[in-house]
Amino acid sequence: MSSHWESLAEQLRPAVAASVAEYERVRSQLEFVTWDVEASIREIFKDSATTPLFVTSRTKSLESFREKASRMVAPVAGAEPALAFPEPLRNLTDIVGVRVITTLPAENAEAANLIKRQRSIFDCRGDREKDIGSIESGTYGYSSRHLILRCIQNDVVKHYQRVLDPSAKPTGSYFFECQIRTVFAHAWSEIEHDIRFKAQDRRAWSPYFDRQFTATAAMLETVESAFSELEERYETVTNFWDEAGEGAVALTPNRVKEVWQTLLPHVDRKSDDDWGWAAELLAAHGLVRTIELVDVLQSQAISDVRKALDHRYSPGPDRLLDDLLLWRFGTAHIDLTAEPASPDAKHLENKARRESLQRRYQQMTRYRQSGIASPPSSH
């Protein structure tokens, strides 16, 4: 896998060598520009609700600059070889690069939008999702939001421009790249870049490396999706506890279903989609708001109920809710939800329910008396 410099047409080498020499002369001044734009990006997030994990920056190395400057346009029959960037110090927009590293993919858009609103500092001249092409082609690569920003009347840039060309009037305008990506994508791209582009011997390459990079990119995408889903579910559950908001929503059958499937998606083996009985059980105890249901569905109570009853089969939502209410309210739950026993054949079903509840309550009582159960919460 040869480099662009190694495959560069002989007649173009002097021009590229001259650009590299010029870059070596001014690079130290460009580092000041890099530090300045990084500081400006950091300042944007200082008092913002959007807080990246960290912000970093880099100025292209001489080797990387030479490699980029050596790129040629696609060959055309009968045409002389030509450089893709004939004036790389002016044509390239990624000599200075800032990296904004986020936690989850959704934060990329938030960070990008915040930066783009700083129109008195930067003018956004480009904005693209680096992974869009790979998604549409069915391939994988690291996901990243790429902004091309232009500094406006920047004094540090003006100083660099005076060093670059003393005869020209400095404008303070300079293009640089700002990449916004998650910490997972950042780790992947750094490792991939080190192996792919910084290898000591470019011949030391194998298609297996490409395959593994593709596989790891796919795995990281899955991990990011899982963390994003966890974040969304956490926000939803947190809102359930808001007494003035989602927590005050009335417990209709559909609301009970929504809350249950959010909190206990692994306990959703109902034979039908009727959650009316669950809503009736809750209403029998005056539990008519969302916050009251999530209070019943606490993990410690569920764990105690499972241990106390030692279910032969994992209970579905209706049975588990019935058991949780019995655990919390005891005999009051029996009296409120099961009619008194009667010798009348028409009431055999009620008799069976009452006996089942009494049997389960006795098991719970023995479990509590054993001292294993967690202390009851105050209500």
What's the domain count of the chain? 2
pLDDT in tens, 255-304: 999 999 999 988 876 667 789 999 999 999 999 999 999 999 999 999 99
In a domain, 376, yes or no: no
Handedness of CA 10, 11, 12, 16 (dihedral sign): positive
In a domain, 136, yes or no: yes
pLDDT, average across residues 69-96: 93
On whether both 59 and 161 belong to a single domain, the answer is yes
- Which pLDDT value is given to residue 133? 43
On whether both 221 and 265 belong to a single domain, the answer is no
Three-class DSSP category at 132: helix
On whether both 95 and 51 belong to a single domain, the answer is yes
Alpha carbons 92 and 65: distance in angstroms, whole number: 9
- Which pLDDT value is given to residue 136? 47
pLDDT in tens, 137-180: 455 555 689 999 999 999 999 999 999 999 999 999 999 999 99
Choosing from 209, 229, 249, the residue where a domain stops is 229
Print the domain residue range for 133.
10-229
Alpha carbons 194 and 208: distance in angstroms, whole number: 16
pLDDT, average across residues 201-229: 81
- Which pLDDT value is given to residue 219? 87
In a domain, 379, yes or no: no
Q: Which residues pair with 55 in a beta bridge?
A: 100
In a domain, 5, yes or no: no
pLDDT in tens, 185-208: 888 888 887 777 655 566 666 778
- Which pLDDT value is given to residue 132? 43
Choosing from 178, 199, 229, the residue where a domain stops is 229
Strands 174-182 and 54-59: unpaired
On whether both 216 and 249 belong to a single domain, the answer is no
Is 0.75 topped by the overall pTM?
A: no
On whether both 150 and 256 belong to a single domain, the answer is no
Q: Does residue 344 have a pLDDT over 80?
A: no
The phi and psi torsions of 174 (rounded to 5 degrees) equal -155, 135
On whether both 91 and 198 belong to a single domain, the answer is yes
